[in-house]
């Protein structure tokens, strides 16, 4: 029993950190109505890693991570600039093209990399059970630094996500910078999260808890808190379930959180539970 708890402590810590940070960003992404930006960015991050592997670097090498970050920053920086303008097409159309292009290029590159198909499977499902304490500590320090930025600029980020930008002259450039900063920090979080949890788990942690919270909570603070709580509890339950039943951890967590979101949505639509009547912050 003691050995089991010690073994599960690492993935539980990692999944809790991921769930808390992604729950925060998920609330913003849901408010901005760019739901699939996460899975597109995650796929681009995986493509950057594939390029590093193709050039002969080991998967854990710093050069591979640099390729992943560089490609992600280029794509998400471009999207941030586009999202600051009024486009004649929906943002989701751009996101869909980015995702399909990233996936197609990854599949093509996999044909030239030994074990490339296995790596693609790994990037999709992840394997959080085998995360190390060094990875957990590095993840926690990185996310703590990003959290400090967002705590300091929380009101401005909330205003941008709520589409309540100030119209005072001279603020346009500040809004673009803040929007770029938001997406850059979001990109860093996704790249790091995908390396540990995989694309599907990261996408689910971003969307499912925040969706469940939004069904019943109207204010920002409540949504943030409940997104984090639902995500953390769901990942812990999924890790324990996957270990006890000897099944893949990523799909187990995804199924739990996905089913929870559907159950809560049914309860909301059936009228058995009513949203909290509280004004947004």
Higher pLDDT, 15 or 87: 15
Instruction: Reply yes or no on whether the pLDDT at 89 is more than 70.
Output: yes
For range 137-157, the mean pLDDT: 93
Which has the closest alpha carbon to 72: 35, 39, 45, 106?
45
For range 235-251, the mean pLDDT: 84
Instruction: Reply yes or no on whether the pLDDT at 86 is more than 70.
Output: no
User: Would you tell me how many other CB atoms lie within 10 Å of the CB of residue 145?
Assistant: 11
- Of 111-120, 142-151, 201-210, 253-262, the range with the lowest mean pLDDT is 111-120
Instruction: Reply yes or no on whether the pLDDT at 277 is more than 60.
Output: no
Average pLDDT, rounded, for the chain: 83
Please tell me whether residue 60 adopts helix, strand or coil conformation.
coil
- Of 14-28, 36-50, 179-193, the range with the lowest mean pLDDT is 36-50
- Report the residue count for the chain: 281
Residue 169: which domain range?
A: 2-270
Compute the distance between CA of residue 123 and CA of residue 59 in angstroms, rounded to an integer: 12
Q: Which residue has the tokens 């509280």?
A: 278
Residue 278 lies in a domain: no
Residue 155 lies in a domain: yes
Contact criterion met (CB below 8 Å) for 278 and 222: yes
Compute the distance between CA of residue 86 and CA of residue 214 in angstroms, rounded to an integer: 26
pLDDT digits (tens, 9 = 90+) for 153-184: 988 888 888 864 444 444 567 778 888 899 99
Q: Which residue has the tokens 């390396």?
A: 195
pLDDT of the residue at 155: 87
pTM of the entire structure?
0.84
Which has the closest alpha carbon to 18: 265, 207, 232, 262?
232
**CATH number for position 99:** 1.10.3470.10
Task: Could you list the beta-strand ranges (E) of 32-142.
Answer: none
Instruction: Reply yes or no on whether the pLDDT at 138 is more than 90.
Output: yes
Residue 248 lies in a domain: yes
Residue 276 lies in a domain: no
pLDDT digits (tens, 9 = 90+) for 38-72: 788 888 888 888 888 888 887 777 888 888 888 88
Contact criterion met (CB below 8 Å) for 205 and 22: yes
Instruction: Reply yes or no on whether the pLDDT at 281 is more than 50.
Output: no
Which has the closest alpha carbon to 254: 211, 189, 200, 197?
200
Q: How many domains does the chain have?
A: 1
Residue 281 lies in a domain: no
Contact criterion met (CB below 8 Å) for 146 and 188: yes
Compute the distance between CA of residue 259 and CA of residue 22 in angstroms, rounded to an integer: 18
Residue 145 lies in a domain: yes
Own/partner long-range contacts of 268-271 (Cβ < 8 Å, ≥24 apart):
268/215, 268/216
Residue 91 lies in a domain: yes
Could you give the maximum distance between any two Cα atoms of the chain, in Å?
63
pLDDT of the residue at 136: 92
Residue 279 lies in a domain: no
């Amino acid at each position: 029993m003691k050995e089991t708890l010690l073994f599960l402590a690492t993935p539980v810590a990692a999944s809790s950190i991921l769930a808390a940070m992604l729950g925060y960003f998920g609330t913003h992404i849901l408010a901005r109505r760019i739901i699939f930006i996460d899975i597109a960015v995650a796929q681009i991050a995986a493509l950057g890693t594939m390029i590093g592997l193709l050039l002969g670097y080991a998967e854990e090498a710093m050069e591979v991570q640099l390729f992943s970050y560089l490609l992600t920053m280029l794509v998400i920086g471009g999207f941030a600039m586009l999202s600051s303008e009024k486009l004649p097409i929906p943002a989701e159309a751009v996101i869909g093209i980015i995702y399909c292009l990233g996936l197609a290029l990854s599949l093509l590159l996999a044909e030239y990399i030994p074990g490339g198909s296995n790596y693609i499977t790994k990037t999709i499902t992840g394997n959080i059970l085998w995360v190390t304490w060094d990875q957990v500590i590095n993840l926690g320090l990185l996310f703590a630094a990003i959290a400090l930025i967002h705590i300091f600029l929380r009101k401005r980020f909330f205003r941008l996500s709520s589409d309540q930008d100030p119209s005072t002259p001279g603020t346009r450039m500040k809004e673009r910078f803040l929007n770029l900063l938001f997406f850059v920090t979001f990109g860093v979080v996704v790249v790091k999260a995908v390396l540990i949890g995989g694309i599907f788990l990261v996408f689910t942690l971003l969307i499912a808890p925040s969706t469940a919270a939004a069904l019943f909570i109207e204010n920002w603070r409540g949504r943030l808190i409940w997104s984090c709580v639902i995500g953390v509890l769901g990942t812990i339950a999924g890790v324990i379930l996957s270990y006890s039943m000897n099944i893949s951890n990523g799909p187990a967590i995804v199924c739990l959180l996905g089913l929870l979101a559907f159950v809560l949505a049914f309860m909301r639509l059936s009228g058995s539970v009513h949203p909290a009547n509280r004004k947004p912050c």
